[in-house]
Chain A
């Protein structure tokens, strides 16, 4: 059981370049999300999805886009990377979002550096 798999683990971009972070889960989870983690700050929600074909903005969505064409995959795109997007990105999924102790399962993280 792989859980949540993120690719790539590391990426260096130049300002203005674009890229896609990929996330796949094999737990049949409905809810998937993308967070960024910066030093001295809590995890911040970028975008999330409560089911296949649906996406919604989180706390810090600007500069990012997402797609969830298949239930098991959630893609995070950066159209024109900026140095402020240098961060560690985590994909996380759970059975549902709104009830009980719906525990998030996180991917291993993707460290992105924008020069």
Chain B
């Protein structure tokens, strides 16, 4: 079967750096996405990786290793507004998105 694994919950301190990991086993690979979802709201797009390496976008970076079936989302200079769930999703060989259950990130002052 297809599977996306992420930690259920993480806690970090305002101003610090946090890394959220995602491992996947899917039928084929056509890209990996990270979405942010604040409580009670819709997911919003953060990043997309299709080739190995690091993609940087402001305070957020996303890394992909296709050979290891592994990605991480790196959040720097954490702010209270970063408290949210972070969803990892992989597009499989049929171009369907397979979603992880999400990582709830709690930021403490």
Enumerate chain A interface residues (CB-CB to B < 8 A): 40-45, 58-59, 90, 97-98, 100-101, 103-104, 106-109
Contact = CB atoms under 8 A, between A and B. Distances in A.
A78 to B, nearest CB: 21
What 10 A-B pairs have minimum CB-CB distances, sorted nearest first? Answer: A42-B99, A106-B42, A101-B48, A43-B99, A98-B95, A103-B45, A42-B101, A42-B100, A106-B43, A108-B42
A44 B89 CA distance: 11
Contacts of B43: 43, 90, 104, 106
5 contacts: A42-B99, A43-B89, A100-B48, A106-B43, A108-B42
Contacts of A104: 35, 43, 45, 97
Interface residues of B, number: 24
B95 A97 contact: yes
A42 B102 contact: yes
B4 A106 contact: no
A92 to B, nearest CB: 8
A95 to B, nearest CB: 13
B76 to A, nearest CB: 22
Interface of B: 4, 8, 30-31, 33, 35, 40-45, 48, 50, 87, 89, 95-102
A111 to B, nearest CB: 9
Contacts of B100: 42
A75 to B, nearest CB: 19
Contacts of B31: 100-101
Contacts of B45: 103-104
Given A45-B96, A98-B95, A106 B44 contact: yes
B89 to A, nearest CB: 8
A71 to B, nearest CB: 20
Contact of A40 (B87, B96, B101): B101
